[in-house]
Structure 1
Amino acid sequence: MMKKYKAVFSDIDGTLLNSKHQIPESTKEKIKQINENGIPYVLVSARMPKGMTAIRAELGAKSPMICYSGALVVDEEDHPIYSVAMPQEVAMKLCRRVYELNPKISINIYTNDEWLVKDKKEYWAAQESDITGVIPQEVSFEDEEVYKEVHKVLCMGDKADIAALEQQLVKEFPQIRIYRSKDTYLEIMSMKASKSDAIHMLKDHFHVKQEETMAFGDNFNDIDMIRYAGLGVAMGNATDEVKEAADIITDINDNEGERQILDKYFK
């Protein structure tokens, strides 16, 4: 007999979305059907809430969202229900150090649903704004209030600059989580923030057991949730490490790999 799953957790980029950054129609229909049958479908991403709400609305999902790779969980009304911020002095020290090491690096601070930058016309910030449709807020990084509840710091820059920065920061800040989400993006957050911890909290919210959860992902920051879920699914386009961590490997995102699994387990 096929096992019953009662909650679905899905990464967005490279997983739910195809390479044109769209949700295929039949995937959308399947997710709506799952929702109507009382199965929560939860978006899980390194994005901020504002960068996820339009996708949730498109799916017709009325579920919480796991943002900043687990550092913030918001409920159906986008109110925070779980938060893991970086210690204020660590966030402040880190941002100052990035600027000292390489002033060309774009530093972006995310706190709750705010995206803070020094200059929104700066190349990387402007490009990120075009991709996400979110407009950042300009602030002075000298203001200590800026670092009060930092859920994520995103450093953007040329490939070589980001690689060098990662190497240096990992040495100097062993107490925080630092990883590249792509060659030009370095994501930094509290070591206590993880997608699996956020799912652990939400399974109680939904009254489901760990073995009744299903999770989809394609990248390094999805590994812990794929290992945690009752059924961990790696996309066909996932990295080898993600595939190794998964229970099953599905088709690539451009062939609706996620929908294929949903069709199989949710008739």
Structure 2
Amino acid sequence: MYKLVAIDMDGTLLRSDKTISDRTKSAIKKAREKGVTVVLATGRPIEGVRKTLEELEMLTDKDYVLSYNGALVQKTKSKEAISKVTIKGKDLHYLHGLSKELEVNIHAFVENQGLVTPRNSKYTQVEADINNIDIKIDDFSRINDQDNVVKVMFIDEPEILGPAYEKLPKEVFEKYTVVMSTPFFLEFLNKNVNKGLGVQLLAKHLGIKREEIITLGDAENDRHMIEYAGLGIAMGNAFESIKEIADYITDTNDEDGVAKAIEKFVL
């Protein structure tokens, strides 16, 4: 019996118009009524998924969320952290210097400070709007080397960010988890951080075994959790590389793929 279901949001839970179908809401509700823990696994901060958590009625003492691609696992109601794996201010300063060399825009999520950037740009504004959070303009000079930084992001037009990614030094990939979550978002996290680790740490907290876990996703930042789960499910619209490693392929996000998978394997 499966006891934990972790679901990616964009391209998975959410349809192309960013809504959740009634069938998917119903399947998630029925799974939770059976005692299954259902969690959102996202690159966003908790503020960016609060509306969805409210819509799914997942704001009780028994609900959790995997935010920042697994860097932070927390209770949705109290925001109490179950696990937190960050990088440091010195990493931000290093990556800031690299962003200048590559001529790309940068912002970071800094603990107790929120979304910080040297200058606002198109895709920092997109980030803020998606997550309903404020932007703090700061040149990073007031961030100390030992301050906790949840993640750093290079954000820019795909035709700028793509070539910049190709020019990243080898040491960057050795030091950090590097995730291209969208063509305009390139994320840098603690080397140990990925959604798979987040799922693993939550499962350990809940006393749930690996073979009792289902994960659903569509993109490269879902790879680790799909590989880790007892049943890793790729969406019909997933990257081919994700379909290749999945145990099962469901329908697309616009065809109730999440609902169909939960109905088949949980209900």
Fold match (TM-score > 0.5): yes
Counterpart of 1:161, as a letter, is: I
Deviation, structure 1 residue 43: 0.6
Correspondence 1:214 to 2:211: no
Question: Which residue identity lines up with residue 3 of structure 2 in the other structure?
Answer: K
- How far 1:134 moved relative to its partner? 2.4
Give the superposition deviation at 1:142.
1.7
The offset of 1:251, in angstroms, is 0.3
1:133: how far off? 2.5
Number of equivalent positions: 261
Offset at 1:146?
Answer: 8.2
Q: How far off is 1:100 after superposition?
A: 3.2
**Distance change (3 Å), C-alpha of 1:87 and 1:141:** closer
Match of 2:66 in 1: 66
1:170/1:178 contact within 8 Å kept: no
| Partner residue, 2:177 | 177
- Contact residue 14 and residue 218 of structure 1 kept, 8 A: yes
Cα distance per residue 1:209-246 (max 9 Å; x no partner) = 11000000000011111011011000000001100110
Match of 1:83 in 2: 84
Equivalent residue runs for 1:124-143 within 5 Å: 124-143=123-142
What is the identity, as a one-letter code, of the residue corresponding to 1:232?
A: G
* Contact 2:177–2:194 (8 Å) recurs in 1: no
**1:1-267 equivalences in 2 (<5 Å):** 4-61=1-58, 62=60, 63-76=63-76, 77-102=78-103, 105-112=104-111, 114-120=114-120, 122-145=121-144, 148-173=147-172, 174-267=174-267
Range with bigger deviation, 225-234 or 134-143: 134-143
Whether the 8 Å CA contact 2:90–2:144 is kept in 1: the answer is: no
- Structure 2's unaligned 5+ residue stretches are none
Pairwise CA distance, 1:11: 0.5
State the Cα distance separating 1:111 from its structure 2 match: 2.6
Q: Secondary structure at the match of 2:82?
A: strand
TM-fit CA distance, 1:148:
1.2
Alpha-carbon distance in structure 2 between the residues aligned to 1:146 and 1:60: 39
**Percent of counterpart pairs with the same letter?**
31
In the alignment, residue 162 of structure 2 is paired with which amino acid?
A
Q: 1:231 to 1:210 in 2, by over 3 A?
A: same
2:118–2:140: 8 Å Cα contact kept in structure 1? yes
Aligned partner of residue 144 in structure 2, secondary structure: helix
